[in-house]
Amino acid sequence: MIGVIVVGAGVLVRVSSPAPASLDWSHFILWTLITLTAAAFPVRLEGGVIMHTTTASIVAATFDSSLPQPFGACWVALIGTLELRDIRRELPWYGTLYNRFSYVLSAFAAWLALEATRDAIGGSPFASAVAIISVGLTFGVVNLLLAVSVASIRTHTPMARVWAVSIGNVLPGLIALVPLGWLMAQVADRVGIWAALLFMAPLLLARYSFTKYAETRSLFFGTVSALSQAIDAKDGFTRGHADRVSRIAGAIARQMSLSERVIEQIELAGLLHDIGKIGVEDRVLMKPMRLDPDETELMRRHPIYGAAILEPSAALRPLVPYVLHHHENFNGTGYPEGLAGESIPLGSRIIIVADAYEAMTSDRIYRKAIGHDRAMDELSRYKGMQFDPRVVRALEQLIAKQGAQAFEVSDLPPINYETLAELRKRLARDPVTRDAHAG
Ligand SMILES: [Fe+2]
């Protein structure tokens, strides 16, 4: 962090000395104002990344030949990106400086790319297109790398994860800001600065679409989480079972070096793996004794119900195979299809291990947790039979690295309701005496 501040400050001093003999203040103020306006409307993405549409006007300032360069681009990047949270001192001073100088470095790198392109291809007909691409790429790589790396350090999240949950899906929108910036510079140069101000409209529109994306994503995850808690409540599990299964499964998937997109799907499938229990009658689901063969058959249908529930939703459809096969045993003795080995989707092989580990290490209303060591012994004993040995090994490595407490942290609020199964058990033990008024 300090390195970025020092290098950024060094670059700024270097480009400012000697100070340029003349400066077109109208253009400088124009780009600074548009950048400040864009910075005043940040969008908070998941993964701790804050983004705005300042890219367009910084790129415009870089392309503006009426400004002394790279002085103009670097100072627009420094002053223009000042946000309200910086002015309100909501960030520590080094956070404010890091953000400012990461923009200065991005603008400086973009200017270097522009100069290199001009030297290389000069006045060829494709010069503008190549310049836009090289400026966009350089600005984007430096800027996003600095933003993602600091968010990764701050939230203790791997960089690939931060990228996947925040930047990955808004990247096309960010890329579109680069040619828009070039166009703004051309319009300011040939038509006038008043015309460049009209570009505020598409910038605000782009910002609106980023906001909608962030809202939709949070709505989706909030809904899935609410649904998974509803299943926990009905199932009689302690609250947070599905949440823990999801986090354990995600951590195993990451340990196995799967892509962030697949990890996210496995985490979602972990949250919803037992959603099919909604279709199983309560008398079977909550029976305190051993199930008879017919009841076992009914219970074993829950992965099929789960798959059928998720299937109609385009967003949840990728989870269907994981949910359908989360009770398949590695040796082919599981259900519903009796798949074996590699023919079971990897996500399902991970969820069955996470589910078993979670069930053994947390208290249930009908029994106490057996503890981490015995749980690992059990997983080890059944590897190759119920569990994929590779998945069990990944969990062992994960726990060796992070400790058995790795999955204890949850941001879910504490349990403050009685699950249906707990209520039934209490009523059976301690029947309610109806009072006369209740009728
Ligand atoms: Fe299940």
For residue range 316-345, what is the model confidence (pLDDT) as tens digits?
999 999 999 999 999 999 989 999 999 999
pLDDT at 417: 59
Total residue count of the chain as it appears in this document? 439
* DSSP, res 166: I
Q: How far apart are CA 85 and CA 104, in angstroms?
A: 19
pLDDT at 435: 47
For residue range 224-273, what is the model confidence (pLDDT) as tens digits?
988 888 887 777 655 678 888 999 999 999 999 998 889 999 999 999 99
Q: How far apart are CA 251 and CA 397, in angstroms?
A: 11
The CA 400 to ligand 1 mean position distance, Å, reads 27
For residue range 130-175, what is the model confidence (pLDDT) as tens digits?
889 999 999 999 999 988 888 888 878 888 888 887 887 788 888 8
Q: How far apart are CA 360 and CA 376, in angstroms?
A: 9
Q: How far apart are CA 307 and CA 234, in angstroms?
A: 18
Q: Which of 352, 348, 373, 349 is nearest to 361 (CA)?
A: 373
407 or 41, greater pLDDT: 41
Q: Over range 297-322, report the average pLDDT.
A: 93
Q: Which of 46, 83, 53 is nearest to 214 (CA)?
A: 46
From the options 1.10.1760, 1.10.10, 1.10.3470, 3.30.420, give the CATH code of 2-217: 1.10.1760
The CA 299 to ligand 1 mean position distance, Å, reads 9
pLDDT of 432 higher than 60: no
pLDDT at 23: 78
Residue 385, token pair as written in the block:
């039979």
pLDDT at 366: 57
349 near 391, Cβ under 8 Å? Answer: yes
Q: How far apart are CA 145 and CA 151, in angstroms?
A: 10
* DSSP, res 387: B
Query: Please, where are the H alpha helices in 256-414?
Result: 260-272, 282-285, 293-299, 302-310, 320-324, 346-361, 372-381, 389-402
pLDDT of 90 higher than 90: no
Q: How far apart are CA 436 and CA 215, in angstroms?
A: 51
Q: How far apart are CA 58 and CA 183, in angstroms?
A: 12
117 near 134, Cβ under 8 Å? Answer: yes
pLDDT at 388: 95
Q: Is 315 helix (H, G, I), strand (E, B) or coil?
A: coil
Residue 117, token pair as written in the block:
């392109």
254 or 2, greater pLDDT: 254
116 near 130, Cβ under 8 Å? Answer: no
Q: How far apart are CA 218 and CA 212, in angstroms?
A: 10
Can you give the residue ranges of every domain in the chain? Answer: 2-217, 236-429
The CA 139 to ligand 1 mean position distance, Å, reads 48
pLDDT at 182: 92
The CA 352 to ligand 1 mean position distance, Å, reads 8
The CA 279 to ligand 1 mean position distance, Å, reads 12
The CA 18 to ligand 1 mean position distance, Å, reads 70
Q: How far apart are CA 54 and CA 333, in angstroms?
A: 57
pLDDT at 434: 47
- Residue 365's pLDDT band (boundaries 50, 70, 90)? low
The CA 327 to ligand 1 mean position distance, Å, reads 6
Q: How far apart are CA 399 and CA 392, in angstroms?
A: 11
What angle (nearest 5°) sits at the alpha carbon of residue 429, between those of residues 231 and 363?
Answer: 45
Tell me what percent of the residues of the chain surpass a pLDDT of 90: 38
271 near 224, Cβ under 8 Å? Answer: yes
- Residue 17's pLDDT band (boundaries 50, 70, 90)? confident
65 or 239, greater pLDDT: 65
252 near 353, Cβ under 8 Å? Answer: yes
Averaged confidence pLDDT in the chain: 85
- Give the helix/strand (H/E) hosting 425: helix 420-429
The CA 256 to ligand 1 mean position distance, Å, reads 23
pLDDT at 436: 47
Crossing angle (nearest 10°) for helices 54-63 and 93-121: 40
Its pTM stands at 0.77
Q: Is 337 helix (H, G, I), strand (E, B) or coil?
A: coil
The CA 324 to ligand 1 mean position distance, Å, reads 9
Least confident of 207-221, 298-312, 421-435: 421-435
pLDDT of 385 higher than 60: yes
The CA 270 to ligand 1 mean position distance, Å, reads 10
Least confident of 108-112, 393-397, 433-437: 433-437
pLDDT of 408 higher than 70: no
Cα dihedral sign for 88, 15, 199, 102? negative
Tell me what percent of the residues of the chain surpass a pLDDT of 70: 90
* DSSP, res 383: B
Residue 219, token pair as written in the block:
């709505």
Residue 120, token pair as written in the block:
């290389």
Q: How far apart are CA 439 and CA 431, in angstroms?
A: 16
What is the architecture, at CATH level 2, of domain 236-429? Orthogonal Bundle (1.10)
The CA 273 to ligand 1 mean position distance, Å, reads 6
pLDDT at 427: 72
Whose tokens are 């080890």? That residue is 380
Residues whose CB falls within 8 Å of the CB of residue 18, separated by 6 or more in sequence, listed in order: none
* DSSP, res 300: T
The CA 274 to ligand 1 mean position distance, Å, reads 5
367 φ, ψ to 5°?
-165, 160
